[in-house]
Amino acid sequence: MNKQEIKYITFAGLFAFAWFVFILPRLITRLDGNNPFMQFMVFNMGLYIFFFIFLKVITINTSFNLRASLGLTSLFLALDILMPEYHVLSTGELVKGATLGVSTSDYIAGLLAQNMGLNGIMIYIFTYFIAPIILLSIAAKIIPNFVRRI
């Protein structure tokens, strides 16, 4: 490992410790039961943006690449939807699950489907088939040959 990687790992570890010990317990009590979209932005996208974009720019001393960041974010969201724990049943019912279950990518995709007027199996199909295809298409468009890079 080079110095930049060690610096990144050190800062990421310190931030993760502070996040899970000091910040997260306070945020959960304040945001629990509130708007799922707000929880998603704080707990999912906030951490992702900090770890993969902001912290990388600081530790590696590079410039911010908006295009690559959007592509990686789309890829992250698509993969997050497809990974367990699943929060949308085939009946279209949204399941809150564990702590912060309503802030997961698939719950948010299901909630978007409900807000678009879909119901039943169509919510499930939108969440686990259509949304990942859209997100992966965005990632493929923004990051050429992204499959070869991962």
Residue 33 placed within a domain: yes
Residue 92 pLDDT: 93
Please count the other Cβ atoms lying within 10 Å of the Cβ belonging to residue 5. Answer: 11
Q: Does residue 137 lie within any of the structural domains?
A: yes
Examine residue 105 and state whether it is found in any structural domain, yes or no.
Answer: yes
**Percent of the chain clearing pLDDT 70 (strictly above):** 93
Establish if 124 belongs to a structural domain: yes
Those residues whose C-beta lies under 8 Å from the C-beta of residue 56, and which sit 6 or more positions away, are 8, 62
Residue 43 domain boundaries: 3-142
Residue 126 contacts residue 109 (beta carbons within 8 Å): yes
For residue 68, give the amino acid letter.
Answer: A
For 100, the token pair is 């912060």
Q: Is residue 55 one of the residues assigned to a domain?
A: yes
Q: Which comes out higher in pLDDT, residue 104 or 118?
A: 118
Tens of pLDDT, residue by residue over 10-37, are: 888 888 888 888 887 887 777 766 688 8
Residue 148 lies inside a defined structural domain of this protein? no
108-129: pLDDT as tens digits:
999 999 999 999 999 999 999 9
As a three-state string, the secondary structure of 71-90 is HHHHHHHHHHHHCCCCCECC
pTM, 2 dp: 0.80
Please say whether the beta carbons of 134 and 127 come within 8 A: no
Domain count, the chain: 1
State the pLDDT at residue 58. 77
Residue 18 inside a domain? The answer is yes
What pLDDT, on the 0 to 100 scale, is given for residue 98?
A: 72
* pLDDT the model gives residue 96: 85
Query: What pLDDT, in 10s, does the model give residues 82-101?
Result: 998 899 999 999 998 777 77
Q: Is residue 63 part of a domain?
A: yes
Is there a contact between 51 and 58 (Cβ–Cβ < 8 Å)? no
Q: What is the pLDDT of residues 61-80, one digit of tens each?
A: 777 778 888 888 898 899 99
